[in-house]
Structure 1
Amino acid sequence: MAEEIIIKRAVLHILDNNVTMPVLSDKELDIDEDQSNFIGKHIERIMSDNNAKMARFSDAPNFIRDICCEIKLNPDFFLQGSIGIAEGLFSIMQKNVDIPPADLICCLFYYESQPHLGILKLNYKTGYTHYVEQGEEGNINTIIRYRTLLPSESQKADECVLINLESLEMKLIEKAYEINGEREYYFSGMFLNCTTQLSDNEKVKIINKVAQKISKKYYDEDFETAAKLKKAISDSFEETKAIQLDNLVEEVFDKNVEIRNEYMEEIHKAGLTEKSIPIPEKLAEKKFRTHRIKTDTGIEINFPPSLYNNKEKIEFVNNSDGTISIIIKNVGKIINK
C-alpha cells in the first residue's frame, strides 16, 4: 500500500437486501496489517481508476454532506455517521431490487495529508471453496458455492466514493441499475445527490466515438481518418500531456471547416466542453500509443501512430482496382509473439 494512504478508522456494515434489516456494526474494525492493506489497496485502485468521476455535492440539503462535515469537526462521530450512511443506502436498495447486496466499508483515512471519508460498497461475488464434512466413514471433502464473497484487493470495487473532508470534492465509481424501469446511476443521483464530471475514460470514448461518426458520414470510415486522429492525439500528449481539441480537429479535418465545426458541436453535445483535456499517462499509453488496423482478409497490423505517413517505414498504396496494398519497409528483424 502506498505510504501516503493512512487508514485511521474503519467499520463494516452488511447490506443484504434479501433480508429486511441491515446488519450494522456497533464497533469499529481493529485495523491490523491485513485489513489496512485490503482497504488501502482498494483506495489506491479507486484513486488511479480511469473510470472514476470527479463529483461535488449539489446545493440542496444533503445528509451525506452533513455527516462528512460532522466527522471533520469530530472524528469520534465516525461510527455513528457510518451507521447513518449504511441506513440511507440500504433504504434505497430495499426499494430497488436490482441493486446488488454488499458489504459496506466506511473508512476515515489520510491521503497526502488530507482527511478523506471512503464509502466502499463491495458487491458480493460468487465463488467456490472446499468444505470438510465429518461422517461415520471419516472426513468427506467437497466443493461448495459461496454467494457472499467480497472482491479481492486486486479486483475493483463496483461502487464507491472517496470524499475529501476539506474540500468536499469526491472521486466516484458507480454502475447503472434499473430504477423505476430505466437504467440510472442511483449512487450519485439518489444516494450522494451530487453532480458528476466525465471520467477520463468517458472523455476518450467521446473523442473516438465522434471521430468515428464523422468518418462514417463523410469519409466512408476511411482508416486514414482514424490513423490521423491517433497520431494527432499522440503528438498532442507528447507535447502537453493533454489533448488539445482545437489542434486536434485542425490536424485531422484540416481541409473542411464545416466538418471541424460539426465535430466540435458533437463533442459539446456529448458533454465534453474543455478545450484542453489532461489524460493520465497509463490511459494514453493504452489508448493512443498503438494504432491497430484489420483488413477484410483477416490480417491485423499494429504500429505506432507516429509512423503514419512515414513512407520509409510503412506505406499504404491505393491500387487502380480499388484495393489497398500495405508495404512494411526497412525491417531489420521479425519477432514471433
Structure 2
Amino acid sequence: MKQEEIQIKAGVVHILDSDVGMPVLSDCAMEIGSDFSDFLKGHIERFTESDEKKLCRFAPDSEVGEILRECTEANFVETSQLLAKMLYRILYENPAIPSADAILLWMMRGEEAYLAFLKMDYKTSYTHITNPGDEGNSNEIILQKALLPSKSQRLSEAFLVRLSDLELQLVEKRYEINGEKCWYFSEKFLQCQAPMSQKAKLDVVTKAVEQVNRKYYGEEDTGRRMEIKNVIYKELEEEGGLRVEAVKEKVFSDRPQMQAELEEKLEKYHLSGEVVAPKSEQTLRKFQKQHLTTDTGIEITIPMEEYENPERVEFLTNPDGTISVLIKNVGKLSAK
C-alpha cells in the first residue's frame, strides 16, 4: 500500500513496557500532524510493500479476529485497548520479546476501512537533558531506553487488516518462547495461518539449489556457483519471478538425479511447482552482481549484465589450473 493511498482518520498509542508490570493504555485518540502522519504512512508502506510481508487469514477461533469483526470507527479506541492488553500479556510472560509502544490507526484506502497495528520496539541511545539549578542550567547526556524506530528502520512486527473481509497483511520476527523460537505474533497473538513470505520462499529455493550443487560439485567450484546465480538472475529479471520448475531444469539440465533431489527438498515446503515473485529492490539486489574474492584477497564485482558479455569479461583456465579473470575494453578506471 502506497503512502498516497492512505488517509489516517484516527490513531492511538499504548505503552507496552514489560518492566512496568502492566500496559499503560490511552483512553483517547492522539493528535496526528502532517509530519507524524508521513512517518506513520512511511512505516505502513514499508512493510506492506516488503517481500517479507505475509498474506494471512485468521483462524476460526482467533480472539483477535473476533474482536476485529466488531470493530467500528466509533469503538476504535476500545478495540485498540483490547488488542494492546492481549499483546502485553504475551510480552510480559516472555522477556525475550522486546517492549514497545503500540500505535494503532483507523485509516481509509478509497472506500475501504483498515486497522493498522505498528509495534514500535524500543531503541536505546543517548540524548541530552537540561537540569535547572541555583547556578543556572546544566546540560547533560543521558541514556534513553525508550526511543522509537526512525522513519527508515523496518518494524519487526506489524499488521494491517481490511475490516470488510479481515484480509490480513503482516510482518513478524521469531522470538524464543519456552526454549524454542516461534512466530509468536501470528501464532500466539493473532492466531492466524501465515504462509511463507516471498523473501522466505526465495531463500528456501536458493539454499536448496546450493545444497544440491555442493553435494555433487563441491564447495570450490566457483564457476558452477556463478552459473547458478546467473540462471536465477535471468529468471527474476526476464520472467518477473522465479519459476522453480524452470530453475531446476536449467541448473541441473543433464542431471536427473540432482533434479529429483532438489524437488524432494522443495516438496517439504510445498514449493516444487511454485512461482516465487519478489518485488522489492532490496531482495533482488544480491542477484544483480557477481561478487568474487581471490585467495590473494582481491575482490571483484561484476554486474550480471556484463557477466556473459565476452567483450567485457572473460574467465581463463591456465595450464597450471589457476584462473585468470580478463576485464576488457575499459574506457576509464575510478578509485574509491
TM value normalised by structure 1: 0.92
| Residue in structure 2 matched with residue 67 of structure 1 by the alignment | 67
Percent identical: 39
Give the distance between the partners of 1:199 and 1:206, measured in 2 at CA. Answer: 11
Give the distance between the partners of 2:328 and 2:313, measured in 1 at CA. Answer: 6
| Residue in structure 2 matched with residue 227 of structure 1 by the alignment | 226
Distance 1:188 1:219, change over 3 A: same
Give the distance between the partners of 1:65 and 1:281, measured in 2 at CA. Answer: 29
Letter in 1 for 2:70: E
Comparing 303-312 and 152-161, the one that deviates more: 303-312
| Residue in structure 2 matched with residue 266 of structure 1 by the alignment | 265
Distance 1:147 1:4, change over 3 A: same
1:264 Cα deviation after fit: 2.3
| Residue in structure 2 matched with residue 57 of structure 1 by the alignment | 58
Question: SS at the partner of 2:4?
Answer: coil
Give the distance between the partners of 1:64 and 1:135, measured in 2 at CA. Answer: 50
| Residue in structure 1 matched with residue 275 of structure 2 by the alignment | 276
| Residue in structure 2 matched with residue 175 of structure 1 by the alignment | 173
Matched, 1:318 2:332: no
Matched, 1:96 2:94: yes
1:296 Cα deviation after fit: 1.3
Comparing 273-282 and 208-217, the one that deviates more: 273-282
Q: Is the 8 A contact 2:51 2:198 kept in 1?
A: yes
Comparing 222-231 and 16-25, the one that deviates more: 222-231
Letter in 1 for 2:30: L
Structure 1 segment 145-160 matched on structure 2, within 5 A: 145-160=143-158
Give the one of 105, 128, 132 matched to 2:130: 132
Q: Is the 8 A contact 1:117 1:162 kept in 2?
A: yes
Structure 1 segment 107-256 matched on structure 2, within 5 A: 107-111=105-109, 113-221=111-219, 222-256=221-255
Q: Is the 8 A contact 1:231 1:306 kept in 2?
A: no
Q: Is the 8 A contact 1:225 1:252 kept in 2?
A: no
1:112 Cα deviation after fit: 5.3
| Residue in structure 1 matched with residue 15 of structure 2 by the alignment | 14
1:301 Cα deviation after fit: 1.4
Question: SS at the partner of 1:76?
Answer: coil
- 1:202-246 deviation digits (Å, cap 9, x = unpaired): 122222212221222111132222222222222222332111222
| Residue in structure 1 matched with residue 45 of structure 2 by the alignment | 44
Give the distance between the partners of 2:53 and 2:274, measured in 1 at CA. Answer: 20
- 1:252-276 deviation digits (Å, cap 9, x = unpaired): 1112111122122212324535432
What is the aligned residue count?
334
Give the distance between the partners of 1:284 and 1:96, measured in 2 at CA. Answer: 31
- 1:152-174 deviation digits (Å, cap 9, x = unpaired): 22222221111122332222111
- 1:298-323 deviation digits (Å, cap 9, x = unpaired): 11111133444433322222223222
1:111 Cα deviation after fit: 3.2
Question: SS at the partner of 1:189?
Answer: helix
CA RMSD in angstroms comes to: 1.9
Question: SS at the partner of 2:292?
Answer: strand
Letter in 2 for 1:331: V
Give the distance between the partners of 1:234 and 1:212, measured in 2 at CA. Answer: 14
Show structure 1 runs of 5+ residues with no match: none
Q: Is the 8 A contact 1:227 1:305 kept in 2?
A: no
TM value normalised by structure 2: 0.93
Give the distance between the partners of 2:245 and 2:305, measured in 1 at CA. Answer: 20
Give the distance between the partners of 2:111 and 2:291, measured in 1 at CA. Answer: 43
1:285 Cα deviation after fit: 4.2
Letter in 1 for 2:47: I
| Residue in structure 1 matched with residue 77 of structure 2 by the alignment | 79
Give the distance between the partners of 1:255 and 1:310, measured in 2 at CA. Answer: 24
Comparing 46-55 and 155-164, the one that deviates more: 46-55
Q: Is the 8 A contact 1:230 1:305 kept in 2?
A: no
